[in-house]
Chains A and B, each alone.
Chain A
Amino acid sequence: MKKRKIFIIGDSHTAAIKKALQDFKSTEFEIDVHWLYSNKNGTEKGNLPLDVAIEKVKNLAEDDFLVISILGTYHNIFGLLQHQLKFDVMTKNNNDINQCTIIIPYRTVEAEFDARCLKNKNISLMAQNTVAKTILLMTPPPKEDNIFIESKIKNLQGKLFLGIGINDSKLRLSLYEIEKESVRKFCGKNGMEFVGAPDSCINNRGYLLKEYWADDAQHANKAYGMKLLEQLEFLL
C-alpha cells in the first residue's frame, strides 16, 4: 500500500528532525525533511529553494501532510539577550518582576509577535499551493540554564553582541509562551493546524528537558527530533 507523505520544511530547527530521521522508521508515512534555502547578506543556509519547495508541495495529495517549521523563533531574537534597557513582561502565571526594569505590557508584546507572524509570506505561499493538510510545528521551549546558554554564546567567536547577559529564564519562557499563542492564532486564522512541542520533552516548569538539548543556546537535539516524529506519526 502506498505510504502517505509527510513533507517537512522549515529553518534550522528541522536539523533535529533530519538527524532523527536517519533512525526513525515509519510504517505508515514517507517522511521528507528540508531546510528552506535562504541567503541573508551573502550567508546561505538550507538546501531547498522556495520555488522548488512549492513545486514539491503541489505534488502532495489530499491525504498527505505539509509540516512547516518556520515561525516560533522570534522569542529568542527578542528576549535571549538582555537589552541595555532591561525589560520584563508580566504574565498571568508570573507577576514577579524586577521593579528596576521597564515593563512591556503583555498585550503589547503579543501584538509585536502577532505582527511578526504576518511578516512571513513563505508559509502562505506553500500552504496555498497544496491540497495537503498544512501543519505548523512550534519550536522547542527554551532551556532553563542561563550558565549553559552563556557558555555557548561566549564561544561563538568573531560575532559581537550587545547586552549585559542572558535574560532571566522566566522572562524567556514567558516570551516563548506568548509567541506560541501568536503562532497558534496564526494557524487558526489561516486554516492550519498547530502542533506544539511534545509534552514528554518539557519539564514541569515548561522548559525543554536537558536530555533534549542540542549543544547550543536555542536548538534541540536528535532525541527531540525523534519525539517530534513520534508525535507527528501519532497525531496524523
Chain B
Amino acid sequence: MKKHPYLSLPHKAFWNRSVAKPDIKDVDPVGIFDLRINPETKVATAGSCFAQHIARHLQKAGFNYYVVEQGHPILSQDIREKHNYGVYSARYGNIYTTRQLIQLFRRAYGTFVPVEDAWIESDGSVRDPFRPTVQPRGYISVEEMHADRRQHLAAVREMFETTDVFVFTLGLTEFWMSRQDGAVFPLCPGVEGGTFDSDKYVFHNQTVLEVVEDLTMFVEELRMVNKNVEVILTVSPVPLMATAEPGAHVLSATTYSKSVLRCAAEIMRQKYLYIHYFPSYEIIIGTYTRGCYFAKDLRGVTEEGVSHVMRLFLKHAASIEADQLEETKKQEEPKDDFLQQVENLVQVECDEIALDDEASSCKC
C-alpha cells in the first residue's frame, strides 16, 4: 500500500475536489484562519477601494464596523457619506500601499512630518496631498486643512489604539513619492490635485522585501500602542487602473503587484501569530469563477463576488452560515434629536410672531 503525505491531506488541499468540481458558490479557499469575532468586536478597516465593500457588509451583517471619525452628528447622513465620513474607520480615504499605511501611522504619532504640506489649486481651494479626494471641493484655506488634518490624525490614533481587529486590504505596489523625504501620495500629484513635477516626485514599484519591511514596521509599531490588536491582511482583487512601470503592460503589472502583495501577506502571516490572511483575492479571481465576479470592465467586483467573500469571512470568523445570515437593519446611529429640538424652539418663536400679527393680509 502506498504511503505518502498527500493521503492524509484534507479535500481543500486538492484542486479537483475543492476548486474544479464544486459549484461556484461552494468553493471555500480559506486556509488557516483562526481569528474569531463577535458582534461586539471592534473591526476597523483601511485599504484600497475593495476595503469599502468589507466595511459596508460588516455593518449590514450587524457587526461592529468601527468608525471613529463619523463626522459631526448635526450633519445629515447623506452629506456625511458624500463627504467621506464613515467610508473607512477614519477619514483617510483609500490607502493603496503599505508605505502609505506606515506613513499614516507615523504621521498620526508625529514621528514623520512630510515636507509637502498643502496643495493649492488654481481656484484657490486647498487639498491635503495625503487625502486629496476626501474633502469634496477642497478646503477653503490652508488653516482649515490643518485643523481638519489635526482632528483626523487624532481620530486615527484613537482608532489604532482602541480597535480590536484591524483589516488592511493591500491594493498596490506602485506609488509616487517625494524625492525630498520619501513621502508617498495616494494618487500621483496632478491626477486629483497638485501639480506634477518630475524634479519633485518619483515613481517606485515595491518589491516583496519592501512590502514585508513596511508591514513589519507597521504591525510592530501598532502593537506598541495596542498590544492586543489582531490584524487581518487581504489582497484586493481589483486590477490596476494603470501602471507607470516603464514598458509594462497593465495586465502583467497587475500580476506582479498582486503577487508581491500576496507573498508579503503570507510571509507576515507565518511570522506573526496575530496576523491572519483572508483570501478575498482568491475568492474573486480564482479560475473557478470563470470571471463571473468581475463587472463588464473586468475591474469592478460584482455584488455576488463581494457577498461570496463576506459570507466566507463571517463563516470562518464568526461561525455564521449563509442561511443564518439575516441582513440586519442597517444600524442606524441613534438619531441626533438636537436639530428637532432646535426646530421646535424656532417654531415657538414663529408662534410668538404669529400671535403678534394683527392683520391676516394687508394691501396698500
Contact = CB atoms under 8 A, between A and B. Distances in A.
Interface of A: 11-12, 15, 18-19, 21-22, 24-26, 30-35, 40, 43, 45-48, 73, 76-78, 80-81, 83-85, 87, 90-92, 95, 97, 102-108, 111-112, 115, 152-153, 156, 159-163, 214, 216-219
Given A45-B351, A115-B78, 18 more contacts: A12-B349, A15-B357, A32-B362, A45-B350, A45-B354, A76-B346, A77-B342, A77-B346, A78-B339, A81-B345, A103-B151, A106-B144, A107-B137, A108-B71, A111-B82, A115-B76, A153-B345, A160-B344
A90 B350 contact: no
Interface of B: 71-76, 78-79, 82-83, 135-141, 143-144, 147-148, 151, 337-339, 341-354, 356-364
Across the A-B interface, give the 7 residue pairs with the lowest CB-CB distance, nearest first: A12-B350, A90-B144, A15-B353, A21-B362, A107-B137, A103-B147, A106-B140
A178 to B, nearest CB: 10
Nearest to A12: B350
A110 B193 CA distance: 21
Contacts of A217: 349
22 contacts: A12-B350, A18-B359, A21-B363, A32-B363, A76-B346, A77-B343, A77-B346, A78-B74, A78-B342, A83-B72, A91-B140, A103-B148, A104-B71, A104-B75, A105-B83, A105-B140, A107-B140, A108-B79, A115-B76, A156-B345, A159-B344, A159-B345
Nearest to B151: A103
A105 B363 CA distance: 45
A156 B359 CA distance: 24
B139 A218 contact: no
A56 to B, nearest CB: 10
A183 to B, nearest CB: 17
- Residue from B79, B139, B345, B352 with most neighbouring chain A CB atoms (10 Å): B345
B139 A15 contact: no
B342 to A, nearest CB: 5
B356 to A, nearest CB: 7
A48 B360 CA distance: 9
B87 to A, nearest CB: 14
A91 B358 CA distance: 40
A134 to B, nearest CB: 20
B133 to A, nearest CB: 13
A112 B147 contact: no
Nearest to A76: B346
Contacts of B343: 77
B346 A15 contact: no
Given A35-B354, A104-B75, A26 B364 contact: yes
Given A81-B345, A83-B338, A159-B345, A111 B83 contact: yes
A105 B139 contact: yes
Contact of A163 (B136, B342, B348, B363): B342
Contacts, number: 158
A115 B352 CA distance: 28
Given A97-B147, A159-B345, A84 B136 contact: no
A175 to B, nearest CB: 11
Contact of B72 (A15, A19, A102): A102
A218 B349 contact: yes
Contacts of B364: 21, 24-26, 30-31
A95 B141 CA distance: 9
Contacts of A40: 347
Given A43-B351, A45-B354, A163 B79 contact: no
Contact of B73 (A85, A91, A97): A85
Contacts of A156: 345, 348-349, 352
Contacts of B139: 105-107
Given A87-B72, A105-B144, A216 B349 contact: yes
A104 B83 CA distance: 11
